Amino acid sequence: MSLSTASTRTCCNSICHSGSNSRSFSSAIISACVALLLSTSFAPSAVAEWYGDAQEKMGTRVEIQLWADDPAEAERLLAAGMAEFDRIEALMSTYIPDSEMSRVNRLAADEPQPVTAELFELLQKSQEISELTDGAFDITFDSVGQYYDFRRRQRPDALQISEHLENINYRQVVLNVADRTVAFSAEGVRINLGGIAKGHAVEKVIALLAEAGVSQGLATAGGDTRLLGKRGDKPWVVGIRDPNDEQAVFTRVALDDEAISTSGDYERFFDEDGVRYHHILSPSSGRPATGVRSVSVIGPSATVTDGLSTSLFVMGPEKAMELIGRLTDYEALIITDDEYFFSPGLSPD
């Protein structure tokens, strides 16, 4: 999939989108980072019903919902979807010593490492987004990011950052298409797909459900959600958390067969001496990006919305709005401490 220029949108009752997928937004109260406000509308079959499961995976809460008329098949598909989350985590986690990602981080500076087609393609997509965003998205952020531990309230000091900052450069990840290998052009480079892997995972889970004949469902991993079809005969309604109040929602969005990703400074963080240290690092400084509280991106691919929400957070409102205005089918809402910005294809009611 390529990322290119934008279209014009029209509005419905709450944030708006173009053509058959109109979006609008308004304020509402609800808990959760991205909360699905589930419609009570009746679905296509009188004998079918909704089935769902939620578990802790990939360092966050993941959830699957689907509409089915066979309870046994629904349970089988829920289990298969959860297994897909496990498979992707086992492949891409930097916390699992024998994952493919961990092997690459250990050995790619010494010699090229062969990888699976799935990981290679996601690394290619990551580099595409890095180029698109002038490096605001950079999977080598972990060259410094590995020294942050938000649960233990630990952060690297200025010397540690200066020693490792030069290793944050996505161009130091060398992808050989012919051999399907990954190499690092410098010692000390370390990659982490935390800014794109969850979007990839929910996209894969939805593909699994669709291939099995499911026409309505969702998959969520943390702030990344991929929707399949509608919920009954109406759009899904998704709430985006107010970054200043965990018990409130800043807006709701009506979506149909799309993805939404939200990145916020309230997800993994600690405050120290009046400064918030959070997990969205600026590749240029090795420190948490400032000036933005949250970014939500809407579009057809959860892999892309995940990568873009991280990128736009780092870029800041002005550059982010300029970029999103050039991308076909992608929209964004950016919230700062005292104002918000929405892309040209969105409009408030």
Quick one: pLDDT band at residue 22, thresholds 50, 70, 90?
very low
Q: Over 80: is that where the pLDDT of 290 sits?
A: yes
Q: State which amino acid sits at residue 160.
A: Q
Quick one: pLDDT band at residue 345, thresholds 50, 70, 90?
confident
Q: State which amino acid sits at residue 151.
A: R
DSSP label at 300? S
- 62-101 pLDDT, tens digit per residue, is 999 999 999 999 999 999 999 999 999 999 999 999 999 9
Quick one: pLDDT band at residue 16, thresholds 50, 70, 90?
very low
Q: Measured between alpha carbons, how far is 186 from 188 in angstroms, rounded to an integer? A: 6
Number of other CB atoms surrounding residue 293 within 10 Å? 21
Which helix (H) or strand (E) covers residue 127, if one does?
Answer: helix 117-132
Q: Measured between alpha carbons, how far is 319 from 322 in angstroms, rounded to an integer? A: 5
In a 3-state reduction of DSSP, which class is residue 80?
helix
Mean pLDDT of all residues in 144-152: 94
Across the chain, what does the average pLDDT equal?
A: 88
Q: State which amino acid sits at residue 33.
A: C
The DSSP result for 5-21, as a single string, is: -----B--SSS-BSTTS
Please state which of the ranges 22-36, 44-58, 175-189, 311-325 shows the lowest mean pLDDT. 22-36
Q: In the structure encoding, which two tokens stand for residue 197, read together?
A: 């892997």
What pairs with residue 225 in β-bridges?
A: 220, 260
Residue 46: closest CA among 69, 66, 74: 69
Quick check: 21 and 258 in contact, CB under 8 A? yes
CATH 1.10.3980.10 fits 100-184, yes or no: yes
Quick check: 228 and 214 in contact, CB under 8 A? yes
Quick check: 169 and 187 in contact, CB under 8 A? no
The per-residue pLDDT for 348 is 63
Calculate what percentage of the chain has a pLDDT beyond 70. Answer: 86
The per-residue pLDDT for 38 is 41
pTM recorded for the entire structure: 0.87
DSSP label at 141? G
Q: Measured between alpha carbons, how far is 237 from 311 in angstroms, rounded to an integer? A: 25
Q: Over 50: is that where the pLDDT of 138 sits?
A: yes
Number of other CB atoms surrounding residue 246 within 10 Å? 11
Q: Over 80: is that where the pLDDT of 206 sits?
A: yes
The per-residue pLDDT for 326 is 94
DSSP label at 28? B
